[in-house]
Amino acid sequence: MTDTAAATATTGSNPSFTELVDGVRETFNSGRTRPMAWRRRQLEGLIKMMKVHEQEFVDAIISDLGRPVLEAFSADIGHARLQIKYVLKHFEQWARTEKVNPGLLSQPGTAEIIKEPLGVALIIAPWNYPVQLLLEPMAAALAAGNAVVAKPSELSPASASVLSRLIPQYLDNDAVVVVEGGVPETTALLEEQFDHIFFTGSTNVGKVVMTAAAKHLTPVTLELGGKSPTIIAKDADLQIAARRVVWAKFMNAGQTCIAPDYVLVDDSVKDRFVDLVTAAVRDFFGADPKSSPDLGRIVSPRHLDRLVGLVAGGGGTTVIGGEHDRDTKFVAPTVIVDPDLDSSLMTEEIFGPVLPIVSVSSIDDAIAFVNARPKPLALYIFTQSNSTADLVLARTSSGGACVNHAVVHILPDHLPFGGVGPSGMGAYHGRSGFDAFSHHKSVVRKKTRPDMPLLYAPYGGWKEKLVRFVFR
């Protein structure tokens, strides 16, 4: 696997990837991926690739998702580039062996933690942020010294094609392989034995990945989803809350795993908040959102049909939006007030530009509502009271959270990003990503002298007394 063609694999209807994975594993076992210089070259290659081919990536994302240029660049290329630069700056420090206190029982001696690469990592990326969500975990895996098999999503074909063509030009072809294809290829890849599987996608497919990984006892990082709630307290700055929720919800046409899925708003401010939300939608996307250059499109007709069905069966009052065009994959920014809580709209992840707003009587009511449902990937609370924010954070569980904003907890390099419970397991970004693809190996080093007779039989007498004294 030394040329471009060999580093990008496609197969027929009954694919087998054993030879491909064995080849990548042979490279890893040779020790080639372990030196810091090799890791640095790969990270620098990713950064250079994104810089040189920035417009190709932007054009591909626009082709796949109809995003405005600003979103195509910032949410995929810009975000990934900054994250990889951060990893490049710090990975050698993270990789250093840590000396720790060996404790009394290991004296004389030393204790240390060695950061060991896991081996061959499989990264399965989604379609909604096709560049960012492939390259960021790939950078973490490479920084930790692993070899990588990468599977971009077939639902973002233009982006997958660019990634498959460019990655072999900038990275080590023997250690990094891109596999194109659909469900048969992904299913076949999951039959192979990897040392770590990193998957971003839906909870249902995450269960499939975890089941496949269990056959080989392969550790997994699952970046999943769920219904991320937004709570609007009665003391919130309603105008700011409305604009930030609308921005976060309708970015990428709502196809963001941490987008606000629904809003819980205090009864006393509901009408005012709804008015401000509809005003923000008109302000951002105009009277005719279909002609707005700032609104993305739905990834496929099938996903559009699903969204239309959610709206049709959701009940409640549609205060803005509701229009769609299957031919252009357009769904208008839609706001539905007080939908049927038992409908699919309120029980399934929406993943589109539809925002339900639900009335609650108090913060306690909102907390109970959230806790009666599966743990979400994110939670957002808008309030001017620190004690209210702290109460919500203390009494709910979510992968991440923001106070007085939404989705921006993905931005700080130092913060781990991940879910909890059905919204995911494991985390990445910054050092957390490096650690996700590393084994922390504990090592104790001893001298051959003195050789403690306490360890050896026969026991009893002074040995027992000394052991009891030490463990007192």
Nearest to 186 by CA among 150, 142, 222: 150
The residue to which tokens 């990270």 are assigned? 43
Residue 368 corresponds to which tokens in the numbers above?
A: 């109970």
Go through 243-264 and write b for each residue having 16 or more CB atoms within 10 A of its CB, e for each that does not.
bbbbebbbbbbbbbbbbbbbbb
Residue 170 corresponds to which tokens in the numbers above?
A: 């900038």
Nearest to 137 by CA among 381, 434, 453: 434
Return the sign of the alpha-carbon dihedral for residues 39, 40, 41, 43: positive
- CA atoms of 203 and 286, how far apart (whole Å): 34
**DSSP secondary structure, 333-367, as one string:** -EEEES--TTSHHHHS---SSEEEEEEESSHHHHH
Please name the helix (run of DSSP H) or strand (run of DSSP E) that holds residue 149, with its range, or none: strand 147-151
Catalytic residue among 136, 180, 257, 402: 257
Residue 453 corresponds to which tokens in the numbers above?
A: 């007779």
Active site includes 223?
Answer: yes
**DSSP secondary structure, 111-145, as one string:** EEEEEEE-SEEEEE--SSSTTHHHHHHHHHHHHTT
Cis peptide leading into residue 450 (ω within 30°): yes
- CA atoms of 198 and 470, how far apart (whole Å): 44
SS3 331: strand
In the chain, the largest separation of any two C-alpha atoms, in whole Å, equals: 90
**DSSP secondary structure, 186-247, as one string:** HHHHHHS--SEEEEES-HHHHHHHHHHHHHTT--EEEE-----EEEE-TTS-HHHHHHHHHH
Active site includes 257?
Answer: yes
Catalytic residue among 180, 223, 349, 402: 223
How long, in residues, is the chain?
A: 472
Active-site residue set: 223, 257
